[in-house]
Amino acid sequence: MDMGRVDVDLLVEEITREVLGLLREGGAGLPGVDPLCLACQGQCIGKCSEKVRNIVEAGASRVGAGLGVSPVARELAQYIDHTLLRPEANRDQITQLCQEALQYGFAAVCINPTWVRLCAELLRGSPVKVCTVVGFPLGATLLEVKAYETRRSVRNGAEEIDMVINIGALKSRDYALVQDDIEAVVMASEEEGAICKVIVEAALLTDEEKIKACTLAKAAGAQYVKTSTGFGPGGATTHDVALMRQVVGREVGVKAAGGVRTLEDAKSMIAAGATRIGASASVKIMQEAASPFNHS
């Protein structure tokens, strides 16, 4: 175990130096991808194949296309996890969340574990995924508890798990513990047939720590890294999204969450490298996207 710890520490330090060097040279982020195509009238796959290929290579797992619906709204909906994580959320509000997700075609709903079974029932047979949170919002529970929470949630119907890293361990430079913590949830997710997104709570971290967290998440096999819980001191920023994309490359998705409240916010995050957006203001964003003033 000690040898493994040394190996992890060396790997993390090496990657951190490399990415910080790129930042100093102004190289953070990926080559620009038009965040939302406004000119194809819903036929992006046929008319803008190069843009679609760039988006897929950047990590997108869903690309929507079709006639009769605003291309902005249709494409944007596929990025959004429609989110309601407030502790006071009640059954009626969760039901409404699912109805809105079906109406707009969001990628997923993101809710606390207690609501997973209800959401799975309401969304059964639809393409909308059920996403829930683990170790939320502090990330300070034991890895065995996070793994158990993951398994129970997936068996109740969750298809995506957003887990919070052990932030204190990261700040203590106990990188082996951080990776073990993530791996426990990734393994539990995969064994039950779900994917895992890793919340780093970027507002609590330095750039160096963000790089380390994303490096460890990728090494642990996570499918996404995510900026924020929405309960920390700050939410997603384009700087953090671009930095995280720089670290994880094209193989891992980046979810921007926390404070994404407008269409411009969402487009900025996608332009910076996000392949998923977590938002509670999803309906407002979609209404903006459907406006004719946003189609030119």
Determine which helix (DSSP H) or strand (DSSP E) holds 254, and give its type and residue range: strand 253-257
Cβ atoms of 108 and 129 within 8 Å: the answer is: yes
Given a contact cutoff of 8 angstroms between Cβ atoms, the answer to whether 274 and 255 are in contact is: yes
Residue 163: in which H helix or E strand, if any?
A: strand 160-164
d(C-alpha 234, C-alpha 221), whole Å: 26
Burial of 154 (0-12, 13-18, 19+ CB in 10 A): buried
Tokens of 228: 């924020």
Is position 218 annotated as part of the catalytic site? no
Q: One of 129, 197, 218, 226 is an active-site residue; which one? A: 226
**Choice among 81, 129, 146, 162 that is catalytic:** 162
User: Which entry of 180, 255, 265, 267 is annotated as an active-site residue?
Assistant: 255
- Per the CB < 8 A criterion, the answer to whether 189 and 218 are in contact is no
CA 151 from chain center: how many Å?
A: 20
What ranges in 114-253 are assigned the alpha helix state H? 116-123, 143-155, 167-171, 175-192, 207-219, 238-248
Calpha distance 71→51 (Å, rounded): 14
Q: Residues 71, 259, 85, 241: what is their CA dihedral angle, to the nearest 10 degrees?
A: 80
Tokens of 47: 């008319």
User: Cβ neighbours of residue 81 under 8 Å, at least 6 residues apart?
Assistant: 106, 107, 108, 109, 110, 131, 160, 255, 257, 276, 277, 278, 279
Active site residue 210: no
The residues that are catalytic are: 162, 226, 255
